[in-house]
Amino acid sequence: MGVSGPRIGSLCSGFGGLDLAVQSVLGGSVAWHVENDPQAAAILAHHWPDVPNLGDLTGVGFDDQALAVDVLTAGFPCTDVSVAGKGAGIAEGTRSGLWLHVARAIQSLRPSLVVIENVRGLLTAKADRGMGPDEPAVDAGSGAPRTLRALGAVLGSLAGLGFDAEWACVRASEVGAPHQRDRIFVVAWPADSRRGRCGAEAGLRAGEQAGGGWQRSRDVHRSSVADADLDSSRRRRRTGVLDGAARADASPVRNGDRHAAAAPVAAAAFGWGVYGPAVEQWERLTRPAPGAVDDRGRHSPEFVEWMLGLPEGHVTAVPGLSRKAQLRALGNGVCPAQAEAAVRLLLARAGLLLAA
């Protein structure tokens, strides 16, 4: 007997944090991963040895019916949109330009739900228009490149594929983590969806009629492409950072595509100091904190793992990974509790009812 709930496909899987969050909300099981990074692939193989990894996203043919899924997750690379990255934005030929292949997967698979995660830089980084499968990259009149913000490109691509979407910027600190770690989350669903529920009780299975589809309430505010193109100075920042909380993104450990959650090294040497309340709160929600630094005074991967709310050893106990590889994998991932809260928020905002 299979696991109840939706069948999930995972693109740019990393250490599996976004998938864990989606499963916490919807139930179900991951049918396959798409992850080309050897260190991340080793983590996936260690924890999910029976789930196939299809490898390089650019080489996967998603027209294969065996790959059909109900839910598609994607945390595509942020190298070119993050503060620590190159600032090239989403454009063909960049790593963040892998969004084009995510859009291709969505177009072929037509899942009932898409869940996307990336860094806050999506709000400010530029993108070439034409990042969707059928979108022109230049203005028909002038022939000049058509540019917009990266999140606008993502939302525009989804709209062009026939998907409605909601998005939000959620901080890890908003779920109690001792660091800020702003992330953009998007949920999208077919605009022509029929009424129904999502979640384990819905029993969604790829290739079957989904008992009425999704149910959506009326008059729900929807974040739009225009919203994503607003100048960042006009946006209201969310509250929720604890007094004295470590602001990870203000002091990144640049060992990967994203910011590793930086430990408050100076404070750790003499006790937690001003970081004490934040650390103690996360300990109450998770488990006791390991040491923030190793015996050489370097950032401890075990501490970063704890800051993300991962089970002890999820990354650090995987055989064959160096300290640098562990930090890189952790820096590229998402805090599952943060992602879970974001998915619940966006499903509620969209009026998509969760099965009880």
CATH number at 204 reads 3.40.50.150
Residues 97 and 138 in one domain: yes
Q: Is the pLDDT of residue 259 over 70?
A: no
Please check whether residue 243 lies inside any domain of the structure: no
Please check whether residue 355 lies inside any domain of the structure: no
Please check whether residue 218 lies inside any domain of the structure: yes
Please check whether residue 242 lies inside any domain of the structure: no
pLDDT at 81: 42
Q: Is the pLDDT of residue 97 over 80?
A: no
Rounded Cα–Cα distance for residues 254 and 150 (Å): 22
pLDDT at 236: 36
Mean pLDDT across 209-226: 39
Q: Is the pLDDT of residue 193 over 80?
A: no
Q: How confident is the model at residue 80 (pLDDT cuts 50, 70, 90)?
A: very low
Q: Please, are residues 264 and 291 in contact by the beta-carbon 8 Å criterion?
A: no
Mean pLDDT across 286-302: 94
Residues 142 and 46 in one domain: yes
Of 318 and 83, which is predicted with more confidence? 318
Residues 199 and 129 in one domain: yes
Rounded Cα–Cα distance for residues 158 and 208 (Å): 23
Q: How many CA atoms lie within 13 A of 200 on its CB side?
A: 12
Share of the chain above pLDDT 70, in %: 64
Residues 323 and 344 in one domain: no
Instruction: Enter the DSSP assignment of 149.
Output: E
Residues 149 and 44 in one domain: yes
Q: Please, are residues 240 and 173 in contact by the beta-carbon 8 Å criterion?
A: yes
Please check whether residue 105 lies inside any domain of the structure: yes
Please check whether residue 122 lies inside any domain of the structure: yes
Residues 187 and 302 in one domain: no
Residues 168 and 26 in one domain: yes
Residues 99 and 214 in one domain: yes
Summarised one tens digit per residue, pLDDT across range 23-73 is: 999 999 999 999 999 999 999 999 999 999 999 999 999 999 999 999 999
Residues 277 and 176 in one domain: no
Q: Is the pLDDT of residue 13 over 50?
A: yes
Q: Is the pLDDT of residue 333 over 80?
A: yes
Number of domains within the chain = 2
Of 5 and 203, which is predicted with more confidence? 5
Please check whether residue 356 lies inside any domain of the structure: no
Rounded Cα–Cα distance for residues 157 and 228 (Å): 13
User: Across all residues in the chain, what is the average pLDDT?
Assistant: 76
Token pair recorded at residue 89? 């934005």
Residues 14 and 123 in one domain: yes
Q: E strands, 211-257, where?
A: none
Identify the domain containing residue 87 by its residue range: 7-235+336-350
pLDDT at 92: 53
pLDDT at 152: 87
Residues 110 and 15 in one domain: yes
Of 27 and 259, which is predicted with more confidence? 27
Rounded Cα–Cα distance for residues 303 and 306 (Å): 5
Please check whether residue 217 lies inside any domain of the structure: yes
Residues 174 and 295 in one domain: no
Look up the pTM and report it. Answer: 0.76
Rounded Cα–Cα distance for residues 223 and 19 (Å): 23
